[in-house]
Structure formats: C-alpha cells, structure tokens
Structure 1
Amino acid sequence: MPVLQSLIDNERVNAALAWPIVCSIAVVAVLTASRGSFLWAALATAIVVLAFVPTIVRWDALVMLPWELLALAAAPIWARLFGTLPIAGFLTVATIALLITVELDAYTPIEMSPRFAVAFVVLATMAVAGLWVIAQWLSDTLLATSFLTTKGELMWDLVYATAFGGLAAALFVVYFYRHDTASVGRRERSGDPS
C-alpha cells in the first residue's frame, strides 16, 4: 500500500504543479492575441489543448502531462511575452512535438522505442518548420510581406529547427529513462517482478 500511496501522491503533486503552468499559458495566449500576435496565441493555445487531452480522455483532473515538460513548453511562450527571442518559435514547435510524443507514448497503446521517439520528435519539428517556411513564402508571394529576407537566414532557421528538435528528443529520452528507472525501483521494493 505505501507504493500505491506514493504513486497517488506523485500524481497529486504533478497535477498541483502542472495546472498553474497550464493556466499561465492560457493567460499568455489571451494576452498575445490581444496584442495582435495571433501565431503565438495559436501556439500557446495548442500547448493548452495538448495539456488537456489526458485529463479529458481519462476524465480525471489529476491525470496531467508531467509538469517539467509543461514548464519546458511554457518557457519560450513566456519569454516571447516579455520580448523577442529569435529562437522561441523553434523551441515552441520542438516542445509541441515533444508533448505529442509523450502523449502518444504514455496515454495510448502505442509504444515507442527511444530511437523511434527521437526520430519522431526531430522529424515532426522539421516538418512543421518546413511548413512554416512554405507559409512564409506564400505570404511573401501573395501578400507582399517580407518574412524571408535571405536564403541564408532561411537555411539557418531550418538548422535551428532541426537542432531544437534533436534537443527536445534528447530530453524525451532522458526523462523517460529516469521515469522507467524509478518505476523499476518501485516494483522491486514492492516485490512485484513485472
């Protein structure tokens, strides 16, 4: 029973730390939308929606994504609220890919090996960055904006997206290795061999 109680307490602690982070991201989404930055409002809203998915699917307010991952996802959103951070977009896209990967692995029957999870996060980040570049090009072509100024800047944007996708993937592996090691330790202490 102590093992079960510690798991319940951990779930409560996680929810107690995760809910304020999610609420703050929702507030940032509203503030950025009121400032006219609809892209950033959409990214923040996407993080909030992803945070609610496990809670809604399990219909339990204690079932949340790990607060550490939500804080990681919130960091570039918060930073962008108080100023410009050129790499914030890539950090946000990479953390959204990371959140999706964690949800697929933790809350669905899908099981990902660490190598596949790394590849999935990196490729998802690169795919979104590629779509973003296409959207910028279309905007420049059709609406006479000037998002894409030089080819060099475009290439560096894609390099940054790939690098942050790799960083997010590495964080995924480290986090789940730590989580799996803790689970094995709890099972050994309780005498459960499975």
Structure 2
Amino acid sequence: MEDENQGSPQSRPRSRRQMIEAQLSWVTSLILFFSTIYVTLRLDFLWIAFGIVSLSLYVLPIVTTRDPFKAIPWEMTALVSSPILLHISEGSRALSENLAWWDDLTALAFAFSLSTIGFLLTVELQMYTTVRMNGAFASFFVVMFTMAVSGFWQVGEYIGGLVTGNMLIDTNGEAMGVLVYASAGGIMIGLGYGAYLKVMGRERR
C-alpha cells in the first residue's frame, strides 16, 4: 500500500516548470469555459457544440489519469480557445469598422476551430493512449477531419438559417470561401503537427 501511494500522481514531485505550465493550462481552460458560457447565453448553437467538445477533450485526460497535471499543454489550450474568442469579437463594431482585415481574421476562426479539434484528437491519442500514428498519417487525418466537419458545419448553418429565418450563408461563393479557409486551416495545422510533437519535451507527453 505504501509503494502504491508513493507512485500515485498526487504524490509525485513537480518541477517549477511543470507547475507554471499546468497553471497556464488551467487559466486558458477557464477562458474557454467562460467563452462557452457566453455563446450559450447567445444561443449560438454551433459554437456551443464547439465549446462543449473542446472542454470535453480538455477534461478527458485529467479524469482518465486522475491527475490535474495531465491537462492539455497550455499552448494547445490557447490555440483551441482562440477561434471562439475571435468568433465572439465578430460582434465588435469598433473592430470591424476600424480594422479592415479584422473580418478576414475572424473568418479564419472557423477554420482553426475545426482543425484544432482534429489536432487535439490526434495528440490525445498519442499522449494518453497506446495508439500511435506516424506524422504523415496524423497530418492527413487532421486535414481530412477539418474538411469533412466543415461540410457538415455548412449544412448545419443552412438548416439553422431555415429554422430561425436568419440565413448565415448568403451566397454559394461565401460558403465556398469558408470551405477554402477550412481546408487551408487544416493543412496549416496538419503540417505543424509533426513539428510540434518533435519540440514537445518527452516529460510533457
């Protein structure tokens, strides 16, 4: 029993760096949590689903290992939080009117929202299960996941517009533009996948 207690996650000594990284991860997860509450109050159903899925991916390794220090690395949590924050900022008239490029930047939020979820799925499989993927297959998975979910997302927005009477997609060109952004975002995240795992310290896996 004594040896078992000494090997438990809670009894293992943590370095200063691990403590700081864990705290940064918890802070960024709170940003994601409150952003999800905000879109929930606005009844923004697609982004509610995004927030719930992202939070589930964040909590899963903590619950599975019963170790709060097994949370997703803070930079990944920040990456998955940024799209929903950019989406929320779309309602800022000051930003939209004063920054000509802001609308294009917020359009990329959709692309990164899907690609980061695919990225998180592959990373969690690598970090917290016995499943292993080579870099090429993992990158391919992220790209295909992003493009596939993007198509379903467009259908959801169209059906939602029919139900609420507030069409979110005005033209076919706009829909195709979103798909192009999604494809580009998936490729960018997919290509960065292998590089990220190489620079990640082994103790963080």
TM-score between both structures, scaled by the size of structure 1: 0.81
Report how far residue 18 of structure 1 moved: 0.3
* Matching residue of 2:198: 177
* d(CA) in 1 for partners of 2:174, 2:197: 35
* d(CA) in 2 for partners of 1:142, 1:44: 22
* d(CA) in 2 for partners of 1:106, 1:130: 29
Matches within 5 A, 1:146-157: 146-157=167-178
2:48 corresponds to which of 41, 44, 48: 41
**Conservation of the 8 A alpha-carbon contact between 2:107 and 2:181:** no
**Conservation of the 8 A alpha-carbon contact between 1:126 and 1:158:** yes
2:27 corresponds to which of 20, 34, 47: 20
* d(CA) in 2 for partners of 1:54, 1:93: 20
**Conservation of the 8 A alpha-carbon contact between 1:28 and 1:41:** no
- After superposition, give the CA deviation of every residue in 1:31-51 in whole Å (9 maximum; x if it has no partner): 221123232222122211111
| 3-state DSSP of counterpart to 1:62 | helix
Matches within 5 A, 1:82-161: 82-84=89-91, 85-139=106-160, 145-161=166-182
Deviates more, 1:76-85 or 1:91-100: 76-85
1:165 corresponds to which of 186, 189, 193: 186
Deviates more, 1:61-70 or 1:32-41: 32-41
Q: Which runs of 5+ in 2 are unaligned?
A: 1-12, 92-105
Deviates more, 1:127-136 or 1:14-23: 127-136
Matches within 5 A, 1:3-82: 8-9=14-15, 10-82=17-89
* d(CA) in 1 for partners of 2:51, 2:161: 25
Amino acid at match of 2:74: W
**Conservation of the 8 A alpha-carbon contact between 1:14 and 1:64:** no
Identity among equivalent positions (%) equals 29
Q: How many residues align?
A: 176
CA-based RMSD: 2.1
Report how far residue 130 of structure 1 moved: 1.2
Report how far residue 14 of structure 1 moved: 2.2
* d(CA) in 2 for partners of 1:24, 1:137: 29
Amino acid at match of 1:119: F
* d(CA) in 1 for partners of 2:64, 2:40: 28
| Cα distance, 1:20–1:141 mapped onto 2, change above 3 Å | closer
* d(CA) in 2 for partners of 1:55, 1:99: 14
| 3-state DSSP of counterpart to 1:148 | coil
